[in-house]
Chains A and B, each alone.
Chain A
Amino acid sequence: MLEARQSQIQHPIWQYKLKIQRLIMFIASIAFTAAVFLQVVTRYLFNYSLFGIEEFASFAGVIMYFIGAAYATHERSHISASFVETIFGEGKITASVHAFTRLLAFVLTVYILFALWDLLVFTERMNTKSTELRLPMLWIYGTMFVGLILTAFYFLLEFYDSVRSMIWPQLDQEKDQ
């Protein structure tokens, strides 16, 4: 009943958005793997350490984590331990609780977004740069911000789906058939 209806959306913009997210996750993964491996090669074979490579790898990691976390919200694969469905099975109670948990998840993500926004404003004002590569920290925090906005957006959509399932369960059954 609460299956991902977002996966059924075929609009080109929606699909491009997902493709871009997957591409960013792929590129970031390859980037930090290559960076760490390159460090192994240069350090242990040529006895030479590349300046800033660890910072580059960790930035690629952070970009991947937040864009990936948003994608995981779209896929509904976040870790949770609900007893509600086990006890009550599928039905209005489970759908109501699910709707509540997703609304709460949305509100909590927005709470963190406000904290991150304050940090973004501060970073922009102080023109903070990274220690080694002197990259603007605004870029990294900005990526986190984009990832969390998408996460909040997907939680909101899931909340909408849950409310729909709660009010009109027959619509889901018809669609499943």
Chain B
Amino acid sequence: MSTLILLDVALLVTLMVLGVPVAMTFIAAAAFLVIFGDYNSTTFLVTSGYSKVSSVVLLAIPLYILAGGIMTQGGIAKRLLDLADSILGRYRSGLGVVTVITTAIFGAISGMASSAVAAIGSIAIPKMVEQGYDRGYATSLVSCSAVLALLIPPSATMILYGWVTGTSIAACFLAPLLPAILLIALFSFWNMVLTKRMDIEVNDPQPFKVQMKTVFQRSREAGFGLAMPLIILGFIYGGITTPTEAAAVAVVYALPVAFLIYRELTFKSFYDVVWKSAQVTSVLMLVIFTANMLARVLTLEEVPQQILDSMLAISSNPIILLLLVNVFLLMIGMFMEDVSGILLAAPLLLPVVTEAGVHPVHFAAIIGTNLGMGLITPPTAPILYFGTLIGNTTLAKVVKPTLVFVFLAYFPVVLITTFVPELSLWLPRLVTGI
């Protein structure tokens, strides 16, 4: 690769490490190439950014965030936890498994890992601590499970991937679903192993009839929230609407549920939840706007081709290439959050993985699992840091169980997802016929 590009990468990483807002680091990297490259004008930076953020496809992201925000304000998190607790709570490690499953489902509803940590963590962590779970462990479990939001449809990360690479979003939604289920199973298994030495108190089991009654009652309460991702997916895979339109339907569905059925949303809190969701979206969109400026300059500088040539110079063996891609993605995931990671890595690495014979839909699952692992892998680990704030604990107490989840759950799933394409392609082929 050219010296200018290497200097640009060094500048990007240095500014990120110093704490310059990610959106601004992309402007800096683009400006560096424009200033030292052969460019007469800077206007193309703005037009390339604008042409992308004004896309109707991208409106799906603010709409999903808004629908998730309304449901969260409506009190869905507590209802989901209560339902899962009524089914699994009487088992020794049950609350841990309940937390994993609820966080995954909530992630699917809200589409954001950070919302899942905030909503589920604030209820589940104190409850787990009360039962005898270690606080650091409880925080780690919630944070690691929250990352499943990237993988369970409808996921904002997969919308972005599909949009950036021109791949079917409906197929991308399904690609990481089986890896996500595998992760849920592994988290639940390691939860049982890791909690063996903890002094956990479990409620006395209720008679079967009483328990069934409780499960039925709580299913009815949580059912309206649980139905939301199913409605979204039903509309998309039933061929009724596009993902953006399905997201608008989800917002309209969430309103009567939160206002009239759960009765936890008022007009004042509705106003607040709308502008706060808008603020969350705007932060992401500014990143998308500036990442597209950088992507445009990188394309003009033929960086994707340079990366392909550099990797092929190391090896043309597809297995080695895919391992290199995994290392590259893990490093990106450790320094950036998922949105920036997808925007930067997907267009740069797609030529490399295509050369290795990887289907773009399969790559959606590879990139999703890798960036997800990066979100909880120190040193950056933004979701883990956020989890410590919610769990009121320190990073030192969270790191040890997190490393267990990373190395014994996430890492094997990343490798299986990479080297067993059928795990990611079977479901999209079955449903969308790719």
Contact = CB atoms under 8 A, between A and B. Distances in A.
A82 B18 contact: yes
A44 B241 contact: yes
A122 B287 CA distance: 25
Contacts of A112: 27, 45-46, 290
The listed residue with most A CB atoms (<10 A of its CB), out of B16, B20, B58, B287, is B20
B341 to A, nearest CB: 11
Interface of B: 15-24, 27-28, 31, 41-43, 45-47, 50, 53-56, 58-59, 62-63, 66, 240-241, 244-245, 247-249, 251-252, 271, 274-275, 277-279, 281-283, 285-287, 289-290, 335-337, 339-340, 379-380, 382
A33 interface: yes
Chain A binding surface, main DSSP class: helix
A101 B19 CA distance: 7
A78 B279 contact: no
Q: Which 5 A-B pairs have the closest CB atoms?
A: A82-B19, A68-B282, A36-B248, A25-B278, A78-B21
B26 to A, nearest CB: 9
A56 to B, nearest CB: 10
Given A111-B27, A115-B46, A78 B336 contact: no
B283 A72 contact: yes
B208 to A, nearest CB: 44
A25 B54 contact: no
A79 to B, nearest CB: 5
29 contacts: A25-B274, A25-B275, A25-B279, A28-B278, A36-B245, A36-B247, A37-B248, A40-B241, A58-B54, A69-B23, A69-B282, A71-B279, A72-B286, A77-B279, A79-B283, A79-B287, A80-B22, A81-B335, A81-B336, A82-B19, A84-B17, A86-B379, A101-B21, A108-B28, A111-B42, A115-B45, A115-B46, A119-B46, A140-B54
Contacts of B47: 119
Given A33-B251, A85-B19, A97-B19, A118 B285 contact: no
A68 B18 contact: no
Nearest to B54: A58
A98 B28 CA distance: 17
Nearest to B289: A65
Contacts of A135: none
A167 interface: no
Interface string A59-89: 1011011111101100101111111111000
Contact of B20 (A71, A101, A118): A101
Interface in A109-135: 109, 111-112, 114-116, 118-119, 122
Contacts of A68: 278-279, 281-283, 285
A30 interface: yes
Interface in A39-57: 39-40, 44, 54, 57
A115 B19 contact: no
B31 A108 contact: yes
A62 B20 contact: no
Contacts of B278: 25-26, 28-29, 64, 68
A40 to B, nearest CB: 5
A77 B275 CA distance: 14
B59 A32 contact: yes
A122 B42 CA distance: 13
Nearest to A61: B59
A163 interface: no
A29 B274 contact: yes
Given A64-B62, A97-B18, A57 B56 contact: yes
A77 B283 contact: yes
A100 interface: yes
Contacts of B282: 25, 64-69, 71-72
Contacts of A65: 53, 281-282, 285-286, 289
A105 B24 contact: yes
B279 A81 contact: no
Given A78-B21, A144-B50, A30 B274 contact: yes
B240 A44 contact: yes
B252 to A, nearest CB: 5
Contact of A36 (B21, B43, B63): B63
Contact of A118 (B22, B42, B379): B42
A71 B278 CA distance: 10
A4 interface: no
Given A37-B248, A112-B45, A122-B43, A26 B275 contact: yes
Contacts of B56: 36, 54, 57-58
Given A65-B285, A114-B42, A108 B54 contact: no
A22 interface: yes
B59 A36 contact: yes
B248 A29 contact: no
A35 B183 CA distance: 38
B19 A79 contact: no
Given A64-B281, A112-B45, A81 B16 contact: yes
A44 B22 CA distance: 40
Which residue, of A32, A64, A79, A101, has the highest number of chain B Cβ atoms within 10 A? A79
B143 to A, nearest CB: 16
A28 B285 CA distance: 14
A121 B340 CA distance: 31
A104 interface: yes
Given A29-B274, A44-B241, A79-B21, 9 more contacts: A36-B247, A59-B54, A77-B283, A81-B16, A104-B20, A104-B24, A105-B24, A115-B46, A144-B46
